[in-house]
Structure 1
Amino acid sequence: MPTDFDFDTRIDRRGTHCGKWDKMEAMFGVSPVDGIPMWVADMDFAAPPAVRAALQKAVDHGVFGYFGDDSDYRAAVANWMKTRHGWEIDTDWLSTTHGLVAGVSHCIRAFTDPGDGIILFTPVYHAFHKIIAANDRRIVQSPMTREDGRYRMDLVGLAASLDGSEKMVVFCSPHNPGGMVWSVEEIRALARFCEAHDLLLISDEVHHDLVLPGGPKHNVAMVAAPEQADRMVIMAAASKTFNLAGGMTGGVFIPNPELRAKFEAKRATAGASPNSLGMLMSTAAYAEGAEWLDALLVYLDGNRRLFHDAVQAIPGLASVWPDATYMAWVDFSGTGMGTQEFTDRVEKSARIAANHGPAFGIGGESFLRFNFALPRSMVKEASERLADAFGDLQ
């Protein structure tokens, strides 16, 4: 496989049933003709060559039936987790879901009842809020504090607020939207908290491969706190790592056999046959995508630095430095503007679509989330547009 990968070429995704581009105008009022999509978390880069080769082989075969033997997939996942994360898994732990949001939904239905409280450390990934509410559970927001530009969980404050109806924590590791990589000590403290309060810990680690150069090592929750592994569920996938979100293939790891049986019973209610093309893509990515990922991380680091420095140079704006992911979490509170005013400047003046901070819960009111997984020329253009849109503050 080649080692010289191209992340600079702009690939025209307009009119290709691409949510990121083709839904941008309806959702944000930003035209795909001259707008820059920096919202939904997929990358504007071609997938690894090995993935495209696997799909081409399937296309050439020409038959697209139900997926069968998944032993190659399970072996590739196990090898990836061991070599990339130092995590030895039993492949029996692994259940495949139609994406990880579906996996969270199955967990909610398997392990809690309507009206139960589910804890989120906010601000956090907006889809968690939606899927909890859609399942008629109660969202318990635990606002995080910020110290030296870094979010921290307030477990003391959370403990004081519990009323006994809370059954589960949905944890985001690395953190989305802030990009923090949680330390072993932080994860252990959370795991002990969950044990003390009889809570299940659902750890969404879908961005675990996207720790950028110079950042701390990602810590799998089960590796960091093995004593509490029986009350944990880990979620991971190739989707964010290799830009395969459309393959709708998520991995849910449950070592506790009783919890796994409950999960499988709920998963079966939605049909258990995986997306065959998603399985082929994920297998190829895990088996042969390491060099591509290493090159991607170097490229994303360049984009991160470019966008972060540009935002920091605009008076009133402040970007949280992300250790991981390809998202920038930008605070506009220093402008003195209300949410609608700074959002209008970004969307109408700069013609950039970014995720609205309030959707991430308490603590997101003055923020927007920007996806910088774009060709660098587009990140540079977006940076210049933001500077112009807020030029009167300089």
Structure 2
Amino acid sequence: MIDRKNTRSVKWGNMEAVYGVEDASEVLPMWIADMDFKAPQPVIAAMQERLDHGVFGYSYICAKCKDAVRTWLSSRHGWETENDWMLFHHGVVPAIATVVETFTNEGDNILITSPVYPPFFNVPGHQKRNIVECKLREENGKYSIDFDAFEKSLQQGVKLFILCHPHNPGGVVWTEEELRNILRLCKKYDVLILSDEIHADLVLPGFKHIPLAVLAEEESGRVITCVAPTKTFNLAGVQAAVMITKEDDLREALQQSALAHGQMELNAFAASALISAFTECEEWLENLLETISSNMDYVISTLTEAVPGIQIQKPEATYLLWIDYRGTGLSEEEMMDRLLNKGKLALEPGSKYGEAGRGFLRMNVATPRTIVEDGVERFIKAMQ
């Protein structure tokens, strides 16, 4: 148990602004996607060593950083990359913004499959791009892609498709067949793909992540992949991400964009954290995945038994539960009012992920079991 209050934590300290509750100190936050676990000790030690040096001048991305990413992707996912394919950024969301700005123009159409992570809507929208929304097919909380609808969406002059892989909030690990269909159709309509794979290392036991770029070589698809250690090792506040593409022209355009914006390299602490995470912390990750899976099993069995009308499909990836409350008959406004004011529990409303998410709630279970149990008790209390 780590007390995160008074640490400028968005999750624990900013609920009053986000939810409008009068006394946020009474509300348990299980919403935004960061963990309540300490980062791995090797990462902390690496950052402490850098801190102890005492000089924090300009930094650059060394070969050791790229080697760490390359080796991790090879051993963990069977993806053989090259150091020259990598460009670094301050986060996956800023990387998405850079790709949107670099490869599309105002008024261009960008395709997303909803419900999906809000920046997929917001970032292109703020850049005055048009969102083409293809709703995922949903059955009992399990999502798949409707490829007839997907192709019709591509026919609307789409320039860029942003893929959430694995999917947030649905927790889907896309299959090889689905990924090949995406590549085939995007190639047919000459659409660039941005594959956000920040949750790739949070695939639960029994499932396997396939990097889209691995299949793209066979399908001749044009892909930019975003990966990061930040979601996996709870380093969101350190800010580090990698954009990877084997296409020289795509990398050159991204480099020109970086120059145009005066984009600097990763800071000294981010580089140290990235190297340590990808070279020393695999055992920590395996333990984490067991903990997440166990927490999910507890929430699913307890909530679905205690609250009529609640259904939860166990995710294949992420540490986020997507709770279907449509069977309760409550509106989103009624559900959020009960949770916040009666249960004193902060979850994310599904409509935040697009209208396709209405009727669902997102719960973060990457937290000690005592907090998970407290959250479940609060949920049950809210529904009594």
TM-score by length of 2: 0.96
User: How far apart are residue 222 of structure 1 and its match?
Assistant: 1.4
Matched, 1:352 2:345: yes
The residue number in structure 2 matching 1:237 is 228
CA distance in 1: counterparts of 2:9 and 2:154, whole angstroms: 42
> Equivalent of 1:103, from 95, 99, 105?
95
- Whether the 8 Å contact between 1:357 and 1:367 is mirrored in structure 2 is yes
The residue number in structure 2 matching 1:140 is 132
User: How far apart are residue 343 of structure 1 and its match?
Assistant: 1.0
One-letter amino acid of the counterpart of residue 167, structure 2 = H
The residue number in structure 2 matching 1:390 is 383
One-letter amino acid of the counterpart of residue 60, structure 1 = D
- Whether the 8 Å contact between 1:222 and 1:229 is mirrored in structure 2 is no
Q: What SS does structure 1 have at the residue aligned with 2:340? A: helix
CA distance in 2: counterparts of 1:148 and 1:387, whole angstroms: 21
> Equivalent of 1:246, from 237, 241, 256?
237
User: How far apart are residue 275 of structure 1 and its match?
Assistant: 2.1
One-letter amino acid of the counterpart of residue 320, structure 1 = Q
- Whether the 8 Å contact between 1:345 and 1:389 is mirrored in structure 2 is yes
Matched, 1:221 2:212: yes
- Whether the 8 Å contact between 1:141 and 1:361 is mirrored in structure 2 is no
User: How far apart are residue 161 of structure 1 and its match?
Assistant: 4.2
Tell which deviates more after alignment, 257-266 or 152-161.
Answer: 152-161
Structure 1 residues 116, 69: closer, same or farther in 2, change over 3 A?
Answer: closer
One-letter amino acid of the counterpart of residue 119, structure 2 = A
- Whether the 8 Å contact between 1:229 and 1:255 is mirrored in structure 2 is no
User: How far apart are residue 309 of structure 1 and its match?
Assistant: 1.6
User: How far apart are residue 223 of structure 1 and its match?
Assistant: 1.6
Q: What SS does structure 2 have at the residue aligned with 1:119? A: strand
- Please show how residues 203-352 of structure 1 align to structure 2 within 5 Å: 203-214=195-206, 216-228=207-219, 230-270=221-261, 271-313=263-305, 314-352=307-345
The residue number in structure 1 matching 2:355 is 362
Structure 1 residues 69, 254: closer, same or farther in 2, change over 3 A?
Answer: closer
Residues 308-329 of structure 1: CA distance to partner in whole angstroms, max 9, x if unpaired? 2223221112223211100011
> Equivalent of 2:26, from 25, 34, 43?
34
CA distance in 1: counterparts of 2:213 and 2:94, whole angstroms: 21
- Whether the 8 Å contact between 2:184 and 2:221 is mirrored in structure 1 is no
CA distance in 1: counterparts of 2:155 and 2:220, whole angstroms: 25
- Whether the 8 Å contact between 1:174 and 1:182 is mirrored in structure 2 is yes
> Equivalent of 1:190, from 169, 176, 182?
182
Q: What SS does structure 2 have at the residue aligned with 1:201? A: strand
Q: What SS does structure 1 have at the residue aligned with 2:33? A: coil
- Whether the 8 Å contact between 1:230 and 1:255 is mirrored in structure 2 is no
Q: What SS does structure 2 have at the residue aligned with 1:209? A: helix
Tell which deviates more after alignment, 263-272 or 150-159.
Answer: 263-272
Where do 5+ consecutive residues of structure 1 fail to align?
Answer: 1-9
- Whether the 8 Å contact between 1:14 and 1:32 is mirrored in structure 2 is no
Q: Which consecutive segments of 4 or more residues in structure 1 shift more than 4 A?
A: none
Q: What SS does structure 1 have at the residue aligned with 2:38? A: coil
One-letter amino acid of the counterpart of residue 85, structure 2 = W
The residue number in structure 1 matching 2:37 is 45
Matched-pair identity in %: 38
User: How far apart are residue 69 of structure 1 and its match?
Assistant: 4.6
